[in-house]
Amino acid sequence: MATLGERIKTLRKQKGLTLQTLAGDQLTKGMLSLIENNKANPSMESLAYIAEQLQVDQNELLESLPTHELRSLLEKIEKLYTKELLSDELIAKYKNIVKILKPYLEHLPFRYESARLFEIYGYCSYHSKQSGWEEVLKKAEEIYESLHMINQSADLHTFKAMMAFTEHRYKDALVLIQTSRKTLEERAGVLDPLKKLDFDYYESILYSAIGDGENAKRLMEEAIQYSKEHQVFYRIDALYRLAGFQAMLEEDTARKDYYISKLHLFADFTDDDEVSAFADAIEVHYLNSFAHDYQAALVLIDENLEKYPEDKIFMFTLEKGKALYGLGQFEEALTWLKKHELWEFLHHPYDLSLHYEKDAYMALIYLELGDKELAIKHATIAKDLIKPMPDFPYKTFILAAHKKVLA
């Protein structure tokens, strides 16, 4: 099958056009030569211009797949593609999707099904750390925008913002999400309810990530109220978790209890035990880090560890180590802290900061056990990790532990 560049060159020669003539005033002769020799890919805008110059349809240049084959391919990929918490298994699945789709990329026509395939390919190649995802997502965005598909464009905009978030560029991510929201609202007038909740959720996450709890709280509560008024419960459990955690940081016990109770009700309604476990994890964290009721924390931890594997709700191994430390059971606490591993896909400063406490607790335990060298080692690890994080209570605790160990 001829490549895109070969088809452009063949049609140009058939029509008796020189490189300069075909390039016209919108492309350079050099760029067109690179495209024809498969050393550069044209943007959708450039492709449309070349097709117009050659007086052919874009799909003729792309040598597009037959409609039934395109739809069959999309159906197959949609069954394989899932959006969930990243794991090694999910990344392996994404690599397989990239492998399946790659041979088709140059032959996709300018239509919705192709945009969706470009989108999925871009997401999968990004998360599996493969090159080329930026250009592919750009093609998806160009098709969606030309078809006036605002919701699909919104998904791509939020994805770009959250890429900055995963790189810990929290302020950049907030600016991106706010700019995208403004652009799409101006274009569409009123956002679809689900997309509005997406933007509310992501913006509240990013406000909290830069330490602006006031705006984070405002957006969370606006989104929750909007969900109630419109009977749309999309992202409601994530919003309850975030709001409950924010209330805990502000030491607003009544509001923390309210959102935890809402999470349990939602878990009962949806028959989702994991939501209930996350609610318990927030309560356990409160009991350990704020109320210092280690015995109550231990009871709730053990109830959950009986129901779930230790790595299912990864917070409980860390919290059990903290509770045992609080009860003076240092060697057993150390065993549980060593079991805990920082999940590599965590990026929010809340998550990172509380997980960085692990080394601070280990340092304090080694200090109690008389091993000053290991105490200093772990206290220094915790201090270095927490340094770029906002001034949450975890930072205060870690820096105090470091000071105590060095003293």
Asked if residue 284 has pLDDT above 60, the reply is yes
Task: Among 279-288, 311-320, 364-373, name the one with the lowest average pLDDT.
Answer: 311-320
Tokens of 75: 């159906």
pLDDT of residue 4: 77
Which residues neighbour 113 within 8 Å (Cβ) at sequence distance 6 or greater? 70, 71, 73, 74
**Is the model's pTM score more than 0.85?**
no
User: Number of structural domains, the chain?
Assistant: 1
Q: How many helices (H) and strands (E) does the chain have?
A: 22, 0
Pick left, alpha or beta for residue 367 (phi over 0 → left; psi -120 to 50 → alpha; otherwise beta). Answer: alpha
176 is written with which tokens? 């991106």
φ, ψ for residue 4 (rounded to 5)? -60, -45
Chain-centroid distance, C-alpha 375: 35
The pLDDT score that the predictor gives to residue 334 is 97
The pLDDT score that the predictor gives to residue 2 is 62
3-state SS, residue 286: helix
Q: Which domain holds residue 32?
A: 4-63
Q: Per residue in 208-265, pLDDT tens? A: 999 999 999 999 999 999 999 999 889 999 999 999 999 999 999 999 999 999 999 9
More confident site: 63 or 401: 401
Q: Determine, yes or no, domain membership for 82.
A: no
Q: What pLDDT does residue 175 have? A: 97
- The answer to the question of residue 340 being in a domain is no
What angle, rounded to 10 degrees, do the helices at 315-326 and 330-339 form?
A: 170
Share of the chain above pLDDT 90, in %: 66
| pLDDT classification of 64: cutoffs 50, 70, 90 | low
Task: Extract the tokens encoding 290.
Answer: 């704020």
Which residues lie below 8 Å from residue 94, measured CB to CB, with a gap of 6+? 123, 124, 125, 127, 128
For residue 392, pLDDT beyond 70: yes
Structural contact between residues 374 and 383, judged by C-beta atoms closer than 8 angstroms? no
Q: Are 175 and 210 in contact (CB under 8 A)?
A: no
For residue 222, count other CB atoms closer than 10 A to its CB: 13
Output the six-digit token pair for 68.
Answer: 């039934």
**Pair 258, 220: CB distance under 8 Å:** no
pLDDT at 344: 74
Q: Is the pLDDT of residue 176 over 90?
A: yes
In this predicted structure, the answer to whether residue 63 has a pLDDT above a threshold of 70 is: no
Q: Per mean pLDDT, which range of 219-228, 270-279, 308-317, 370-379 is the poorest?
A: 308-317
Task: Please tell me the predicted confidence (pLDDT) of residue 109.
Answer: 83
Q: Which two tokens stand for residue 109?
A: 């026509």
Asked if residue 312 belongs to a domain, the reply is no
In a domain, 376, yes or no: no
Between 346 and 397, the more confident residue is 397
Name the percent of the chain lying above pLDDT 70: 96
Mean pLDDT of the chain, nearest integer: 90
Q: Is residue 18 part of a domain?
A: yes
Structure tokens at 383: 């201090």
The DSSP secondary-structure symbol of 85 reads S
Please check the confidence at residue 48 and state whether its pLDDT lies above 90.
no
Section 90-98 average pLDDT: 94
- 68 pLDDT higher than 90: no
Residue 281: the pLDDT is 93
- 153, part of any domain: no
The answer to the question of residue 45 being in a domain is yes
Structure tokens at 211: 């330490």
Phi-psi sector, 85: left (phi>0), alpha (psi -120 to 50), beta: beta
Q: Which residue would you say has higher pLDDT here, 4 or 347?
A: 347
Q: How far apart are CA 93 and CA 100, in angstroms?
A: 11
Domain of 25, CATH number, reads 1.10.260.40
Give pLDDT, residue 313: 60
Question: Which of the residue ranges 46-50, 90-94, 308-312 has the most confident prediction, judged by mean pLDDT?
Answer: 90-94
Domain membership flag for residue 176: no
**pLDDT higher than 60, residue 310:** no
